[in-house]
Amino acid sequence: MIKESVQAFPISKVRQDFPILHQEVYGKPLVYFDNAASSQKPKVVIDAISDYYNQINSNIHRGVHFLSQQATDAYEAARETIRKHLNAEKSHEIIYTKGTTDGINLVASSLGQGLIKSGDEILVSQLEHHSNIVPWQMLCERSGAVLKVIPINERGELIQAEFEKLLSAKTKLLAVNHISNAMGTINPIKEMIQKAHEYGAWVLIDGAQSVPHMAVDVQDLDADFYTFSGHKLFGPTGVGVLYGKEKLLEMMPPYQGGGEMIAEVSFEKTTYAGLPHKFEAGTPNIAGGIVLAKAIDYVNQIGLDAIGAYENELLHYGTQRLKSQFPDLRIIGEAENKASVISFLLGDIHPYDVGVILDKLGVAVRTGHHCAQPIMQHYGINGTIRASFAFYNTKSEIDQMIDALDRAHNMLA
């Protein structure tokens, strides 16, 4: 029996939209708590993929024929849906990518072609996913720029006083996530962007974990770049978005060369297309872009405020149940402002062993370092067990996880 939320979130109706949730694994009802890794897809999204291939599949921007026009129109209409969703000013500030990692690499690679130089400083934080560390390290190696790291406190929050100390006239870029995937910390990015701008630095926000759970307004935040992945936003894999301010994107050289991104090619000289095509070389993930807009429409129909409030309720219920059930449980990351992610350790049991038992009892969690090894180094651990909730999860599922953890604890402690 699914418990309805006290705020009357339409959970029963929502769950009907996700066919994959209604199955058993190893004879137990599936509980999917690995949403931070990749979320499940509503039927409208799944259907839209087959509609695209059944009805309008064709290459875009280059055909005069009917199907190509249809596909181009749908792809560009989807770009406009994404623009509205992020409240970007112009639709050519929306660049389609393969995902968050691709968006960050695009910016790092482009800025690395002379816009970031030896002696410049790039600020990242100890909370970052490897995708928001390694591309900057590679850029530093190539350019002679220096990487600086904003430290965290014991609750897993960025230490703002340390951040301010690191800012200087040398700071060229701040690259920080909106929400930490490993611990769920929500960072005060609006204030951080404002402070970085006081020193003339550009700011890239890794929005992989925020866009699925909260409304994002890039103009209100004044972010220079904001990037996310479709597959965490209830859309397809292999597609994502990089928002960039027009004046920066105009100034930046292309990331990759090829078809689509040119104005004219000759062996003597090639000129590049304008935005957004300058950054979209080759045939893109056309179905992915179109269907991502369907996922955005779906989420907006439910409402991101309602989603955020419901997920917050799950976070508090889950945290309270875990703490009261297991005296030897340690939560890693207890930020005051936190998204629906609980990372924890059960006594001194290895997270992997717990994950394997939970799986056999139908509960899908992620174990390990979550591609955020610097966080694990901070806490002196190798990894955690991570339960990450989405709006189709329920308190009854949390109860099923607690029962499964109880079994694991009895077997392994």
Residues near ligand C6P (CB under 6 A) are 36-37, 99-101, 129, 131-132, 177, 181, 206, 208-209, 229, 366, 370-371
* Rounded least distance, CB 106 to ligand C6P, Å: 12
* Rounded least distance, CB 35 to ligand C6P, Å: 9
Closest-by-Cβ residue to ligand C6P is: 181
Tell me whether residue 99 or residue 156 sits nearer to ligand C6P (CB atom).
99
Tell me whether residue 45 or residue 74 sits nearer to ligand C6P (CB atom).
45
* Rounded least distance, CB 132 to ligand C6P, Å: 6
Catalytic (active site) residue 371: yes
- DSSP secondary structure letter of residue 312: H
* Rounded least distance, CB 206 to ligand C6P, Å: 5
The dihedrals phi and psi of 328, each to the nearest 5 degrees, come to -95, 15
* Rounded least distance, CB 326 to ligand C6P, Å: 23
- In 3D space, the residue among 334, 18, 367, 34 whose CA is nearest the CA of residue 185 turns out to be 334
How many CA atoms lie less than 13 Å away from 209 in the CB half-sphere?
28
Per the document, the length of the chain is 413
Tell me whether residue 81 or residue 125 sits nearer to ligand C6P (CB atom).
125
Candidates 146, 262, 331, 371; catalytic one: 371
The C-alpha atoms of residue 239 and residue 247 are separated, in whole angstroms, by 24
Question: What is the DSSP secondary-structure string of 123-190?
Answer: EEETT--GGGTHHHHHHHHHH--EEEEE-B-TTS-B-HHHHHHH--TTEEEEEEESB-TTT-BBP-HH
Q: Which two tokens stand for residue 269?
A: 């000289």
Tell me whether residue 148 or residue 386 sits nearer to ligand C6P (CB atom).
386
Tell me whether residue 109 or residue 177 sits nearer to ligand C6P (CB atom).
177
Q: Which two tokens stand for residue 390?
A: 């989405």
* Catalytic residue positions, numbered: 371
